[in-house]
Amino acid sequence: MVVTQENVAVNGSRKLSPQEIADILRDRIRSGDLKAGDRLPTQAELAEEFNVERGTVRQALRALQEDGLLSNVSKGSPPRIAEPAPVRGAPQPTMVGLAPRLTEAFAAPHVRVDVVSHTSETLMLALGDSLRRIHEGTIHPESIEFRVLLPSRDINLAFPISVERDGEEDPVHRRWLEMRNAQAHVLKYNLNAVRSTHGIDVRITFRALPFTPPVKMYLLNGEEVLLGYYMLEKREEEYESRTLEMYDALGSQSVLFSFVKAASQRDAAFVEESQKWFDALWETITTDLTLS
């Protein structure tokens, strides 16, 4: 650190910077000296302890607040140490990681799920536990809104695509389109079923992307982003009594990385920018999607 005149006390000793004070308090939180729910000393007490001005203390507390380490920050009383953010653990394959995240999201009174994907197969399957809990009466959100972006039927997909392309209509594309439409119909039916049986306000809308998304993304209640890369491979599938050799990605095996808004300033920024990106796509270059 560069020592400047304002960082030097009258007696010649160097004054601590806001960052240094924040680091000291952060170490006390990590070591357990300050536990979740504990109140910090007052700004006056901290200023006296560190021999600095209250303005320096306020800057240090602001840094801790931005890191999600403080709660109940107000002018009326000292802040408390925040509860630790949920630990999400290591990234998981989509079919393992998505279902429990959806179940958590469905515990909110107003559920909003925004999706960018190649098809809705994984989402359709992962939603089963959340819908079962609604039917059992364990959870009962007031509203559920799904916005789903899928590739348009009218574009040349980057994948899946036939290994050998002969200029004719690509059966791989036709197979993908049938799957896209069938899975979306099932997803729509299952969600609308809870509207008719439980009186929940349900809205599900699909729009068409003019490009092939290289990643899948799930935005849950504006609080968490799950992001996974589509990994391409060469594989074979049986279709209409023939074997199709294609380059494709198995979305159910994509590894999902979780970014939680409450976890850190960095994660919060990622969630907010992801939401802006999705909203921009939804409102600009995407078009109505017909499931046929």
pTM: 0.71
Long-range contacts of 249-252 (CB under 8 A, 24+ apart): 249/118, 249/159, 249/160, 251/94, 251/117, 251/118, 251/119, 251/121, 251/122, 251/216, 252/93, 252/94, 252/95, 252/121, 252/122, 252/125
Per-residue pLDDT of the chain (292 residues; tens, 9 = 90+): 333 333 444 344 678 998 899 889 988 988 888 888 888 999 999 999 999 998 899 888 888 887 778 876 665 678 888 876 555 566 776 656 899 999 999 999 999 999 999 999 999 989 999 999 999 999 999 999 999 999 999 999 999 999 987 766 789 999 999 999 999 999 999 999 999 999 999 999 999 999 999 999 999 999 999 999 999 999 999 999 999 999 999 887 889 999 999 888 899 999 999 999 999 999 999 999 988 7
Which of residues 81, 110, 141 is at a domain's end?
A: 81
- 52: domain CATH number is 1.10.10.10
Q: Is residue 87 one of the residues assigned to a domain?
A: no
Q: What tokens appear for 61 in the block?
A: 């507390």
- Which pLDDT does position 12 carry in this prediction? 47
| Residues 112 and 207 both lie in one domain | yes
* Burial (CB count within 10 angstroms: exposed 0-12, middle 13-18, buried 19+), residue 9: exposed
Separation CA 50–CA 175 (nearest Å): 68
Q: Transcribe 55-90 into DSSP letters.
A: HHHHHHHHHHHHTT-EES--SSSPPEEPPPPPP--S
Domain residue limits at 240: 92-288
Helix (H, G, I), strand (E, B) or coil at 3: coil
> Do both 145 and 196 map to the same domain?
yes
Last residue of a domain, one of 53, 81, 109: 81
Question: What is the reported pLDDT for 210?
Answer: 98
- The last residue of a domain, from among 46, 81, 116: 81
Structural domains of the chain, count: 2
For residue 206, tell me if it sits in a domain: yes
Statement to judge: residues 125 and 67 lie in one domain: no
